[in-house]
Chain A
Amino acid sequence: MGTRVNQIGLQRNDYKGRPSTLCQGCGHNSISNQIIAVCYELSIEPHRIIKLSGIGCSSKSPAYFLGRSHGFNALHGRMPALATGAIMANRDLTGIGVSGDGDTGSIGLGQFKHMVRRNVPMIYIVENNGVYGLTKGQFSATADIGQELKYAGLNELPPIDICLEALAADVSFVARSFAGDAKQVRELLKAALSHKGTAVLDIISPCVTFNNHETSTKSYPYGKLHEEALQDITFIPEYDPIIVDVHEPGQVQAVRMHDGSHLVLRKLDPVKHDPTDKLAAFRLIEEARIENQFITGLIYVDEHRPNLHETTHLIQAPLVHLTEADLRPSAEALDRVLGEICCQ
């Protein structure tokens, strides 16, 4: 049977996980599908990926993609720390973290910001639906002010903006997307996989059960109607020759990722946002909030900020590959230290 395979001979099915137990139509399922598609398309070896998550419907989803990759479903809000440890232990692994808006925006806000601040090399996806899905529909900290839900009542508090929090913590890659915009999610995932530090993807991912009314900014109907993409994004892997058509200066921007791949951004927004300009990124988010705009796309990228491997001066070999001879100092070393302590 002539089933299609990718460059490393794997079929798309080899990138699937167990059958999803999330609600039919949940945004989280669609993001899982894009992760499968991207890893298949980029011919990523599944054993080089680790999947990490917190607790929530969103955090369950790593069970439903990349079944051949190790994963760890951690604690509510505490995935960043666990991911940090795993990635420090084995720097050859690519971490894909999946969290929710409750997981990241409330209980885990501290860990999230410290992960970003450390620039832990990994992808960190927030599947943002404005509610706590798994505990049945309470408002999360990203819910709109003034929003009303049947069960949760009226939300009188302003939302926390995940992208803004990330920027304030000196993030080196942050984008916002929409689960209903599959192509953009895929291209941003590819770019994130090529990034050398923490890549935060705040993806509006509707909860069809508790928060999908068209008046909610986290719903499918609202997103379909109001999404304003900043750019048309094309990811060009390092092995493809890059052909950037720069006929319209200012309209097209190419961003070189540290692994040699490129992002080609064809700008769609009137201000032609430059995602390498941090102040512009702050302004963009704040203006969109004031104007009630649902902007998506690459908000900020900095390929130069050192990541945690660099700031801890870690050796190139993954720590877990070291043997006893590398790890346990010799008997002579003990004698020397004891000699210094005793000085007899």
Chain B
Amino acid sequence: MSDVQTSPLDSLMADQEPVVNDFQIMIATVNGSGSQTANSTLLRAIFRMGVPVSGKNIFPSNIQGLPTWFTIRLSKDGYIARREDYHILVAMNLQTVEEDITNLAVGGIVLYPEEWKIKHKRDDVVYYPVPVKALVDESGTPSSFVSYVSNMVYVGVLATLLNIELEQIEYALNFHFSNKPKPVNMNMALVRLSYDWAQDNLPKNDPFTVERMEGKTDGMLLLDGNSAGALGTAFGGVQVVAWYPITPSTSMIDALRTYLSDMRTNPDTGEASYAIIQAEDEIGAIGMLVGAGWAGARAMTATSGPGMSLMTEFAGLAYYAEVPIVIWNVQRVGPSTGLPTRSSQGDVLAAYFLGHGDTKHVVLLPSSLEDAFEFGWKSFDLAERLQTPVFVLSDLDLGMNLWMGKLFEYPDQPMDRGKVMTAEDIQRAGEFARYKDVDGDGIPYRTLPGTDHPDAAYFARGTGHDEKAIYSERPDDWVANIERMNRKFDTARALVPPPVVDEVAGTEIGLIAYGTTDACIVESRDLLREQGIETSYLRLRALPLSDATRDFIRRCDRVYVVENNTDGQMAKIIYMEYPDLAPKVKSIAYLDGMPLAPRWLTRAVQEREQER
């Protein structure tokens, strides 16, 4: 085994203050090499030590061979946004090692397989060569498992270097493998071996360390947003799911299938109180939802940009025929196939206006696990109350990465099935007219197929219709119906989840954001405060906008709308809705495939402020 190589910074390192629970680990691997187990094990073990963490997987659109990076951010202050710099590099991909080292922070450390020859060595970072192959050989791992297990070497070495408790690593492995002893033991054996090797052979020459913390992660869980949304969907009482596979939404349906088969299948008969259908395409998927929603079921799908494009015509039909359905769009980068494995907030305008003619939709904007869970069930209540499609715009960052979140709260309201008339209701009312505004809120009453009353039936259609759903080309019928639907859209403004406002007295600057950008805003506001810039913050949770947003903008002198797309899509909606306030509203929009980073946003706001 080789000697440990050290840099000329040795002396400097020795005097350095320890860096505790506030750095980022970057693990560079080759896609398909099974590093997910190792990475999530590390993440969970650190989380179990009470340290706030967040993990992001930056992966290619490829099954095997292209580079993949996984970042684990530790933040004693609880920040979970993307951090651009990294301090600990686990270099396990020869293709990218040079570039990965170039981007490492000064004073950072590099773990790499000892047999690699690294050409351009920096003298301001610490190198730890690791005998990966020798350790794997020594562990006696059966050859068919080597590729799965060998990543445990860096888990064990990091455990020594950073002081990660082995007990928590074992716990995390048990979690990962659902307590199956065989894989847990096999992986743990290599972790221990590597841990011991590092204890004996690797003199620590860097300041980074993990220390147990109290009170920061109590009662929190670590989960991906797709699972959180799926769990919420299950607690929304979903009945029909139709879908077509597309990254990054697929794992939401996978999770939903797991939850439903656990909670909604009769263990004796194997019969399911729900249907999941893998459709032939997204047109078929949404078509099935429209049929199911019309028949009275809670129906949902999960897709991403290209799939949502295909759903356009049906979204317009569901809007105009007034059929409740729920569509999750876990956004990735477009236009077109774009960057299929990168995150964006690029489908805001497309979702809001999906469909030809004067179509507009209710859109929910989750920014956390808690939101994803809540919108999972609440989206059905809104769809059925409003008799309209509800879009939930998540994104790859929320959907596929691991986030900390508070334990989800059980729905605080019973299921709202909306205005449905039974045969008895029709008898009592003496009339049923499908598209009549009985209550003045623009929301009509509906009957479900199968209602046993001679006046219950109506012919749903995408063509012009009168109050009784009868075909009509009369201008007055058309206008009356559309005006009622616009009234309904105004009713929606008050029903959708209101924005969350944190207003700081005396500040002139407002920030508006939504979705996963929230994590960036939270940290950036603190950074700005350090620079003497105080901001108020409004986090949108839904479209259409409500008075709260208009009033917030009015109270501010200037407002920056921050979003992870290029065109400033939410800013445009705000300009459209409140043209009189538009001069106050500025767009800060950027998209390169990565979630927005707080330091970048802080600089962007500072620059805008200086330009004034």
Contact = CB atoms under 8 A, between A and B. Distances in A.
Contacts of B67: none
B457 A67 contact: yes
Nearest to A334: B410
Interface in B423-480: 447-454, 456-463, 470-471
B14 interface: no
Contact of B294 (A72, A110, A114, A319): A72
Interface in B250-286: 259, 262-264, 266, 269-277, 279-281, 283-286
Nearest to A322: B273
Given A90-B450, A114-B280, A326-B273, A85 B287 contact: yes
A62 interface: yes
Nearest to A111: B284
Interface string A12-27: 0010001000000000
B354 interface: no
B320 to A, nearest CB: 11
B287 A88 contact: no
Interface string A88-132: 111011000000000000000011001000100000000000000
A18 B410 CA distance: 48
A93 B277 contact: no
Contact of B411 (A51, A73, A315, A328): A328
A173 to B, nearest CB: 21
A334 B292 contact: no
A314 B407 contact: no
Most buried by B among A52, A322, A328: A328
Contact of A74 (B287, B295, B415, B458): B287
A89 B453 contact: no
Contact of A47 (B270, B321, B456, B458): B456
Contact of A70 (B271, B290, B321, B449): B449
B289 interface: yes
Interface in A290-344: 308, 312-316, 318-320, 322, 324, 326-329, 331, 333-334, 337-338, 341-343
Contacts, number: 218
A248 to B, nearest CB: 45
- Of A51, A319, A343, most buried by chain B (CB within 10 Å of CB) is A319
Interface residues of B, number: 78
B283 A81 contact: yes
B231 interface: yes
A254 interface: no
Interface string B388-416: 00000000000000000001101100110
Interface stretch (B237-245, B358-366, B545-553, B561-569): B237-245
Contacts of B414: 324
B221 A338 contact: yes
Q: Which are the 7 A-B pairs with shortest beta-carbon distances? A: A81-B287, A85-B291, A327-B237, A85-B288, A89-B297, A86-B291, A85-B292
Interface of B: 171, 175, 220-223, 231, 234-240, 242, 259, 262-264, 266, 269-277, 279-281, 283-299, 313-314, 317, 321, 377, 407-408, 410-411, 414-415, 447-454, 456-463, 470-471
